[in-house]
A and B are shown apart, each in its own frame.
Chain A
Amino acid sequence: MSAGWPQRPTKCFSAADVSSKTARAIYGADVDTLDRQILNRLQDGFPIVEHPFAAVAAELGVDESTLIERVRQLREDGTLTRFGPLYHAERLGGGLTLAAMEIAPDDFERVNEQVNAFPEVAHNYARDHRLNMWFVLATESPQRIDEVISDIEQVTGYRVYNMPKQQEFFVGLKFEV
């Protein structure tokens, strides 16, 4: 591969693909005030006590059953992708890395399906770059990362760039709603 990639966007998708209307139609995220309060509150953590929903409900001034029902709704409509623990991969003995691939636009759909079929692929985004596919791998052991990368290279026929984390300065995945 030649040195130095020029900055040019890939043209895999039309603008329609990224319209927010599409996503809203799919996930139906019409959140009201109480939903917003719930989302903001739960991003700060969920109590580890016998009646955790009752504790949060009391803070928000609603019934326990109302809160549970709202959380169920938000999870069902896809506004919440997870409700539970977020683990620290390394402390758990697992492997975690960010990987990228440069896929020919004509080949993108095929490779995308193949990559997403791996259960170790936690998320996957198309990005504007010659390296146009970026995904996170989470595995049961650090050694598995290399095996999965090698498997993905074999199945897809493309090189995988493994970009492991070396140092963490900030993680605060919180979105004020």
Chain B
Amino acid sequence: MVSHVDSALDATDRRLIAAIQGGLPLVAEPYREIGDAIGMPEQDVIARISALRDRGVIKRMGVVVRHHELGYHANAMVVWDVPDDKVQPLGECIGNYEFVTLCYRRRRYLPEWPYNLYCMIHGSDRNAVLDHVAQLVDECRLAATPHEVLFSRRRFKQNGARYLRG
């Protein structure tokens, strides 16, 4: 499902988006400091960022943690080869579990890559992740669904995505 570019994004929004994509300044009044940097009153910065969040252009203001360092030592991408007419209910079922952090439908690459439903599972170690997978198989009735568990071995890069040049 390709969503369209939000037509209400104007040049000022884009300037603001570029100014904060690297992160917020760690000061008492971060929105004022951003405004000072791009010549915009603090109230306008606050109003525009709020509007961008309400429209879903900004999914969330907040933090991204390095989960590995916080005790989530194993993460796996679990890929399922689900019949096309079952993707919706199975995607919703999988997405309900707290240990699932993402659940997407993606294109297949036949013949070598038949999988069309992906989820990420994080756990304290590999066995915990495998227990979670077993729970999904059991409770979402996936016993007959081909799947693979791709544990991560090493993380090479974890940067925030950058879409605009500031």
Contacts and interface: CB of A to CB of B under 8 A. Distances in A.
Interface of A: 1-5, 7, 12-13, 17-18, 20, 23-24, 27, 29, 31, 39, 42-54, 64-65, 68, 71-72, 75, 78-94, 96, 98, 112, 116, 119, 121-129, 131, 134-136, 138-140, 142, 161-175, 177
Interface in B116-151: 116, 118-119, 122, 148, 150-151
Contacts, number: 278
A85 to B, nearest CB: 5
Given A84-B23, A167-B1, A45 B163 contact: no
A176 to B, nearest CB: 8
B162 interface: yes
A173 B101 contact: yes
A18 B52 CA distance: 39
A80 B107 contact: no
Shortest 5 CB-CB distances between A and B: which pairs?
A170-B95, A138-B161, A29-B69, A169-B91, A94-B163
Contacts of B102: 170-173
Given A64-B28, A89-B163, A173-B102, A80 B65 contact: yes
Contact of A127 (B4, B32, B64, B77): B77
Contacts of A90: 2-5
Interface in B11-56: 17, 20-24, 26-32, 42, 46, 49-50, 52-53, 55-56
A18 B154 contact: yes
A136 B151 contact: no
Given A90-B3, A121-B157, A75 B26 contact: yes
Interface residues of B, number: 85
Contacts of A165: 104-106
Contacts of A44: 62
Contacts of B61: 45-48, 84-86
B28 A53 contact: yes
B30 to A, nearest CB: 7
Contact of B153 (A18, A20, A169, A171): A18
Majority secondary structure of chain B interface residues (helix, strand, loop or mixed): mixed
B59 A88 contact: yes
Interface of B: 1-6, 9, 17, 20-24, 26-32, 42, 46, 49-50, 52-53, 55-73, 77, 87, 91-92, 94-96, 100-107, 109, 111-113, 116, 118-119, 122, 148, 150-165
B153 A17 contact: yes
Contact of A126 (B67, B109, B152, B163): B152
A54 to B, nearest CB: 7
A17 B103 CA distance: 28
Given A42-B62, A138-B163, A83 B24 contact: yes
A135 to B, nearest CB: 7
A143 B2 CA distance: 13
A161 B23 contact: no
A88 B56 contact: yes
B28 A68 contact: yes
B5 A128 contact: no
Contacts of B113: 5, 131, 161, 163
**From A2, A46, A81, residue with most partner B Cβ within 10 Å:** A81
